[in-house]
Amino acid sequence: MHSQKISEGVYLLRANHWDRRLFDELIPLPEGTTYNSYIIFGSEKTALIDAVDFSKEDELIEALKNMGVEKIDYIVSNHAEQDHSGGINKLLSVYPHAKIVTNSKCKEFLMDLLHIPEERFLVVEDGEELSLGDKTLKFIKMPWVHWPETMITYLVEDGILFTCDLFGAHYATSDVYVYDEMREYLAAKRYYAEIMMPFRQSIKKYLQKVKELNPRIIAPSHGPLHKNPEFILNAYERWVSDEVSNEVLIVFVSMHGSTKKIVDYLADKIAKKGIKVRYYNLTVTDVGDLLMDVVDAATIVIATPTVLTGAHPSIVSAAYLLNLLRPKTKFVAFITSYGWGSRAIEQLKSLMPNIWAEILDEIAVKGYPKEEDFARLDELVEKIYEKHKEQNLIGGD
């Protein structure tokens, strides 16, 4: 465990999970992840902010012992998900006088998930403050910044905002603060896409609240801390906005080359129109890379071979995931290639009720694409071009 002083009486306790490769058994972690806890020594009370994942609870306890922490008065739980709460039961047994400080919804979840007895909780309301003596914690509820119980905690005197998942990034690092902004930007965008994107509208509302606090440091519970909060706030502002980029994502699988012929043709034609194209063959794609681009892209084209009248299972999975994550995509198009019959496009549309994008076309190609199919694809490219122009994404001819 990496411990580091970040302010007078405030220490980061970070568990790096260097070799974790999957989160929620769903999200690839190419660079591992981190779980950050923080300990704050006030003149009268000691508080720990967020615990770590189950797998790292012993490291946290050992780090606290090494620091000589004999007593913890409060364990602040900003979010009940187990990567931040997993270590709480162990902490409660080692520090038997500690109270868990959280909101009523989070208390309910922690009781359900970890079977923590009710008497161990101290419930706080939105905006409530808790004195540690010469330091004050202020709790700000931000429901639906991942789960309905999420909140953030502000250490008033030090200007440190503990945001748990919000403004985090999944990568293991020994850097306490953001060191390489480009690396952080990509990791934070990937994290936003995978974790935060469905809550875009809530976050849009909360960004203003965060700015009003004007924190000196933003301290999430995943990834490095932000000494320059403006960097991550500006990035989030762009991601949660309604603005899209002049970009088409082509998401496809090809079994015998027909769909590949279609998407290769399409990618080439779209690029020639001055529109950026990203091309995702789902058989070789890290889904996190795709999701990162989904954050901004104006248009997504989904192309699938027909497998026994339906879409290819990898495409079904991607469509289902996109629907869960609710991107701000403005336009979509569906393409399928088939041998004798297909309900693939109908099936994909039924899987994506949360995607409000305008459907530009639905193209079914029988067998290997022929001249009339390419003509139809040309029409789709024209439609995409016109729509991007209407959105002021492309300059005049």
Q: At its nearest, how many Å lie between ligand FEO and the CB of residue 356?
A: 25
Q: What is the DSSP string of 202-247?
A: HHHHHHHHHHHH--SEEEESSS-BBSSHHHHHHHHHHHHSS--EEE
Q: Is 146 in the site for ligand FEO (CB under 6 A)?
A: yes
Q: Which is nearer to ligand FEO, 69 or 187 (CB)?
A: 187
> Residue with structure tokens 């549309």?
349
Closest CA to 139 of 93, 107, 184, 171: 107
Q: Which is nearer to ligand FEO, 164 or 302 (CB)?
A: 164
Residue nearest to ligand FEO (CB): 81
| Contacts with ligand FEO, 296-315, as mask; x by CB under 6 A | --------------------
Q: Which is nearer to ligand FEO, 190 or 269 (CB)?
A: 190
> How many chain residues bind ligand FEO (CB under 6 A)?
7
Q: Which is nearer to ligand FEO, 84 or 99 (CB)?
A: 84
| Contacts with ligand FEO, 75-94, as mask; x by CB under 6 A | ----x-x-xx----------
Letter string b/e over residues 301-329, b meaning 16 or more CB atoms within 10 A of that residue's CB: bbbbbbbeebbbebbbebbebbbebbbbb
Q: Is 149 in the site for ligand FEO (CB under 6 A)?
A: no
Q: Is 165 in the site for ligand FEO (CB under 6 A)?
A: yes
Q: At its nearest, how many Å lie between ligand FEO and the CB of residue 217?
A: 19
Give CA–CA dist 262/251, Å, rounded: 12
Q: Which is nearer to ligand FEO, 79 or 99 (CB)?
A: 79
Q: Which two tokens stand for residue 287?
A: 């889904």
Q: At its nearest, how many Å lie between ligand FEO and the CB of residue 290?
A: 21
Q: Which is nearer to ligand FEO, 50 or 73 (CB)?
A: 50
Q: Which two tokens stand for residue 55?
A: 């797998």
Q: At its nearest, how many Å lie between ligand FEO and the CB of residue 325?
A: 14
Q: At its nearest, how many Å lie between ligand FEO and the CB of residue 109?
A: 11
| Contacts with ligand FEO, 210-229, as mask; x by CB under 6 A | ------------x-------
Q: At its nearest, how many Å lie between ligand FEO and the CB of residue 167?
A: 12
Closest CA to 51 of 22, 80, 24: 80
Helix (H) or strand (E) holding 148: none
Q: Which is nearer to ligand FEO, 143 or 310 (CB)?
A: 143
Give CA–CA dist 88/52, Å, rounded: 8
Q: Is the dihedral of CA 144, 145, 150, 151 positive or negative?
A: negative
In the sheet that 10-17 helps form, which strands lie side by side, from edge to edge? 2-7, 10-17, 33-41, 46-49, 74-76, 99-102, 121-123
Q: Which residues pair with 82 in a beta bridge?
A: none
Half-sphere exposure of 295 (CA within 13 A, CB side): 28
Q: Which two tokens stand for residue 319?
A: 């469509």
Q: In the complex, which residues of this chain contact ligand FEO (CB under 6 A)?
A: 79, 81, 83-84, 146, 165, 222
